């Protein structure tokens, strides 16, 4: 990493002293900004709270009109406690030294300073401050590693293994290649690695290589010189330069055009980048994390991806399991998303029905976590109850055109929909265990008369068991119950209920009257 | 005068010229026995003179500041110390003129 230029704020009411220091250190690659009044610097720093501090150190005089160095240091330390301060005193008495250190100064020097001595004090203080900051990052990283999975919801051993690997490689600068189906959280993982790295407080820049037209991708990545192509009215740095000292996440790397693969390989090898239309190379220090849903080995075999680039990127391969491979995480994820969307849409939804949970566990989730998230958001929006039911999760199927009527039950099912024909009971012991774990946490309590003993044979409750008299219920009764159930969920709004039932309003009235007449 | 390697004679001359102007203020303050302007000006000299190659001047300025900090201020002693300072500046100005003439001669 190229050594950066230190930036020091000098606070001194003597312009000739400041001029001398600025001249001396400018020639020695240290940048000084002079403030004649302490209040001017404090105002600037107040306006920057929460942003990156432009100064590495404050060098201040002790004796100044308006606000002296001690008062200034105290105010500064409440504003920016991590910013190191060196006080300049005009005499070397122990009292001044003690006063300076007690005010929060990291060190003090006697004025006029001997430049070589001042240089040593400045460098030592900045080095110490840098070590303190790195130490804080490492402590935070260690704490995260011990207490969290980096914000990723993970119970599945497969995913926990991937997280463990990610954390182990994070502090190094090794290139990482993340593979996994769409929606498995590749960018979330890349951010986890960045956050756990020593570059955590540096930029994280992400680009989706398949989302940008081929002709723009090159200048987006490497930047361009002014006038290098039509429309390039100004010079612009590319994402490599933007991510300098940080991490660049190249998503969908498998879709990168072949000629850019060559250019990327050169950047990875030489750690230098050349803007489009320029002849000079710029040094960069960027950690690369790439991701793809493609089988890059196969892409290499068919010559669509450069073999040498593949090996450059595949230093640390991390594979993310699909959601169906990590069933343990489906219900915790669902709960997490439900909490988020219930709050966002002010719905006060508490959990899921057992039926809904069973259904979620039985799904393939080809779109993985993203698809589950969308399903929960949609369910939270359409739900009329305090719990998400199966009908809420399957709401997308309720389009009139797709409806067919199942004659035997009178229940409308979307055409081509197979989920209801799938047994809603848990398919295996794992799913049953997951449901039990989830019970009491986010599952609706079973209604009276619908105790787990009714389901002890692991089969769906039979319609024949649903009569209160013990006799099988009639088709008319079943239809009426269903109509009433839908009406209830629609708060009695008949237009909406009719739409959901796949019948017109008049038919709904007729059925209600006829059924009521039949059942007395 | 111990000219720092990174400073030109022109920069040093500019520094001394400013001190000569400030001497006038110092004597006016002595005449009315007002310590504030004296303290402010001489505190600066104490802090910056050595950086421009005038170590002795900085020490003398420091001496006057110390005298001014004693209460009540002994004005005859303070005046004598400022006189000494003025003579030091005069001598530095002369030395600088010689060096500048030599520099010009070389050119």
ipTM score: 0.90
In angstroms, the separation between the Cα of residue B84 and the nearest Cα of chain A is 21
Q: Give the model confidence (pLDDT) of A220-245 as tens digits.
A: 999 998 887 777 788 889 999 999 99
Could A16 and B18 be called an inter-chain contact, meaning their C-beta atoms sit closer than 8 Å?
yes
C-alpha to C-alpha distance for A253 and A296, rounded to whole angstroms: 9
For residue A427, what pLDDT is reported?
54
At residue B33, does pLDDT exceed 80? yes
Q: Average of pLDDT values for A495-518? A: 78
Q: In three state form, how does the secondary structure of A485-511 look? A: HHHHHCCCCHHHHHHHHCCCHHHHHHH
Residues 35-64 of chain B with CB under 8 A from chain A are: 40, 43-44, 46-52, 58, 62
Residue A466 has pLDDT above 60, yes or no: no
Q: What are phi and psi for residue A387, nearest 5 degrees?
A: -130, 150
pLDDT band at A473 (very low <50, low <70, confident <90, very high): low
- Indicate if the pLDDT at residue A398 is higher than 60: no
What backbone phi and psi angles, to 5 degrees, belong to A208?
A: -100, 110
E-strand stretches of chain B: none
Q: Which residues of A touch B44 (CB under 8 A)?
A: 14, 16-17
3-class DSSP state of A316: strand
Instruction: Find which of A130-134, A457-461, A513-517 is predicted with most confidence, using mean pLDDT.
Output: A130-134
**Predicted local distance difference test score (pLDDT) of residue B5:** 87
- Over residues A260-272, the pLDDT tens digits come to 999 999 999 999 9
Model pLDDT for residues A330-351, shown as the tens digit of each residue: 999 999 999 888 888 888 888 9
**Cβ contacts (< 8 Å) between B69 and chain A: which residues?**
none
Average pLDDT, chain A: 81
User: What pLDDT score was predicted for residue A26?
Assistant: 86
**Residue A433 predicted with pLDDT over 70:** yes
- Between B40, B48, B62, which is nearest A20 by CB? B48
- Which residue of chain A comes nearest to B59, CA vs CA? A112
Residues of A in contact with B66 (CB under 8 A): none
Size of interface A-B (CB pairs under 8 A): 36
**Cβ contacts of B6 on chain A, cutoff 8 Å:** 23-24, 27
Mutate to test the interface with B, among A20, A34, A63, A65 (most CBs of B within 10 A): A20
Of B18, B40, B48, the CB nearest to A17: B48
Q: Which residue of B has its CA nearest to A115?
A: B51
Query: Using CB atoms, which residue from B48, B50, B62 is nearest to A14?
Result: B48
Per-residue CA distances from A467 to A141, A457, A515 (Å): 59, 19, 16
Across the interface, do A17 and B49 touch by the CB < 8 Å criterion?
A: no
Confidence of residue B107 (pLDDT cuts 50, 70, 90): low
**Nearest neighbour of B58 by CB, restricted to A16, A88, A112:** A112
Q: Do B43 and A23 touch (CB under 8 A)?
A: no
Peptide bond preceding A112: is omega within 30 degrees of 0, i.e. cis? yes
Show residues of chain A in contact with B68, CB under 8 Å.
none
pLDDT digits (tens, 9 = 90+) for A55-66: 999 999 998 888
User: What's the pLDDT score for residue A448?
Assistant: 39
**How far is it, in rounded angstroms, from Cα A46 to Cα A40?**
10
Residues 71-100 of chain B whose Cβ lies under 8 A from any Cβ of chain A: none
Given a cut of 70, is residue A170 above it in pLDDT?
yes
**pTM for this entry:** 0.48
> Is A112 in contact with B18 (Cβ distance < 8 A)?
no
Any chain A CB within 8 A of the CB of B69? no
**Yes or no, beta carbons of B48 and A112 under 8 Å apart:** yes
Tens digits of residue pLDDT in A171-194: 888 999 999 999 999 999 999 899
Q: What's the whole-number mean pLDDT along residues A4-8?
A: 82
Cα distance from B48 to chain A (closest Cα, Å)?
5
Contact A223, A238 (CB under 8 A): yes
**Taking the CB of residue A11, how many other CB atoms lie within 10 A of it?**
28
The C-alpha atoms of residue A130 and residue A124 are separated, in whole angstroms, by 10
Interface test with B, best of A112, A113, A118, A119 (most B CBs within 10 A): A112
CA of A27: which chain B residue's CA is closest? B6
Residues of chain B found within 8 Å of residue A21, distances taken between Cβ atoms: 51
Neighbours of A5 (CB within 10 A): 9
Contact A112 B52 (CB under 8 A): no
Chain A: residues touching B (Cβ < 8 Å): 14, 16-17, 20-21, 23-24, 27, 61, 63, 65, 88, 90, 111-112
A-chain residues near B47 (CB < 8 A): 14, 17, 61, 88, 90, 111-112
pLDDT tens digits, B61-77: 999 999 998 989 999 99
Comparing A215-229, A276-290, A472-486, B89-103, which segment has the lowest mean pLDDT?
A472-486
Q: What is the pLDDT of residue A113?
A: 92
Comparing alpha-carbon positions, the chain A residue that sits nearest to B48 is A17
> Where does residue A240 rank: exposed (0-12), middle (13-18), buried (19+ CB within 10 A)?
buried
pLDDT digits (tens, 9 = 90+) for A119-150: 999 999 998 988 887 787 777 666 655 444 55
CA distance A284 to A267: 9
Provide the pLDDT for residue A409: 36
Distance of residue B76 Cα from the nearest chain A Cα, in angstroms: 25
Label residue A411 by pLDDT band (50, 70, 90): very low
Distance (Å, whole) CA A185 – CA A369: 7
Alpha helices in A416-462 (DSSP H): 429-438
A287/A482: higher pLDDT: A287
A26: closest chain B residue by CA:
B6
- Least confident residue range of A159-163, A315-319, A455-459: A455-459
Residue A450 has pLDDT above 60, yes or no: no
- Given a cut of 80, is residue B58 above it in pLDDT? yes
Burial A281-319 (b: 16+ CB within 10 A, else e): ebebebbbbbbbbeebeebbeeeebbeebbebbbebebe
pLDDT band at A515 (very low <50, low <70, confident <90, very high): low
């Amino acid at each position: 990493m190229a050594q950066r230029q230190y930036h020091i704020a000098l606070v001194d009411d003597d312009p000739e002293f400041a001029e001398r220091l600025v001249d001396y250190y400018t020639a020695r690659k240290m940048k000084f900004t002079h403030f004649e009044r302490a209040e001017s610097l404090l105002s600037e720093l107040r306006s920057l709270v929460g942003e990156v501090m432009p100064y590495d150190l404050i060098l201040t005089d002790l004796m100044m009109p308006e606000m002296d160095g001690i008062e200034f240091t105290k105010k500064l330390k409440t504003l920016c406690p991590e910013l190191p301060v060196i006080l300049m005193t005009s005499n070397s008495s122990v009292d001044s030294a003690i006063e300076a250190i007690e005010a929060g100064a990291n060190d003090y020097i006697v004025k006029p300073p001997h430049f070589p001595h001042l240089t040593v004090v400045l460098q030592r203080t900045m080095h110490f401050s840098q070590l303190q900051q790195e130490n804080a990052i490492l402590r935070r990283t260690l704490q995260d590693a011990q207490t969290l999975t980096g914000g990723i919801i993970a119970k599945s051993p497969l995913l926990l293994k991937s997280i463990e690997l990610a954390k182990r490689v994070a502090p190094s600068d090794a290139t990482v290649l993340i593979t996994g189906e769409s929606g498995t959280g590749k960018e979330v993982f890349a951010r986890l690695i960045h956050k756990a790295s020593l570059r955590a407080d540096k930029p994280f820049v992400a680009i989706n290589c398949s989302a940008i037209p081929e002709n723009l991708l090159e200048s987006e990545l490497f930047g361009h010189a002014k006038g290098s192509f039509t429309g390039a009215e100004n010079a612009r740095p590319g994402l490599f330069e933007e991510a300098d000292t940080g991490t660049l996440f190249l998503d969908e790397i498998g879709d990168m055009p072949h000629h850019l693969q060559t250019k990327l390989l050169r950047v990875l090898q030489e750690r230098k980048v050349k803007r489009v239309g320029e002849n000079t190379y710029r040094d960069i220090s960027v950690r690369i994390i790439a991701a793809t849903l493609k089988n890059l080995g196969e892409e290499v075999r068919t010559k669509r991806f450069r073999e040498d680039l593949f090996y450059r990127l595949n230093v640390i391969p991390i594979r993310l399991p699909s959601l169906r491979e990590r069933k343990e995480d489906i219900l915790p994820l669902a709960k997490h998303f439900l909490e988020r969307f219930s709050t966002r849409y002010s719905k006060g939804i508490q959990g899921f029905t057992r039926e809904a949970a069973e259904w979620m566990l039985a799904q393939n989730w080809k779109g993985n976590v993203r698809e589950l998230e969308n399903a929960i958001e949609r369910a939270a929006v359409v739900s009329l109850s305090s719990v998400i039911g199966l009908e809420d999760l399957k709401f997308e199927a309720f389009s009139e055109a797709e409806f067919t009527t199942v004659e035997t039950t009178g229940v409308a099912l979307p055409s081509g929909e197979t989920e209801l024909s799938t047994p809603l009971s848990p398919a295996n012991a794992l799913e049953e265990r997951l449901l039990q774990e989830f019970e009491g946490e986010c599952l609706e309590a079973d209604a009276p008369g619908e105790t787990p003993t009714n389901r002890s044979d692991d089969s769906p409750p039979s319609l024949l068991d649903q009569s209160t008299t013990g006799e099988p219920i009639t088709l008319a009764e079943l239809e009426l119950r269903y109509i009433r159930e839908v009406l209830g969920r629609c708060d009695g709004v008949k237009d909406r209920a009719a739409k959901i039932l796949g019948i017109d309003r008049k038919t709904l009235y007729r059925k209600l009257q006829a059924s009521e007449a039949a059942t007395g | 005068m111990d000219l720092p390697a990174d400073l030109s004679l022109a920069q040093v001359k500019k520094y001394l010229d400013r001190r000569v102007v400030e001497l006038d203020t110092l004597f006016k303050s002595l005449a009315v026995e007002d310590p504030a302007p004296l303290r402010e000006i001489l505190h600066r000299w104490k802090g910056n003179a050595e950086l421009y190659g005038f170590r002795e001047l900085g020490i003398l300025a420091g001496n006057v500041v110390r005298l001014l900090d004693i209460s009540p201020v002994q004005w005859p002693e303070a005046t004598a110390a400022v006189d000494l300072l003025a003579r030091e500046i005069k001598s530095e100005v002369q030395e600088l003129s010689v060096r500048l003439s030599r520099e010009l001669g070389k050119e």
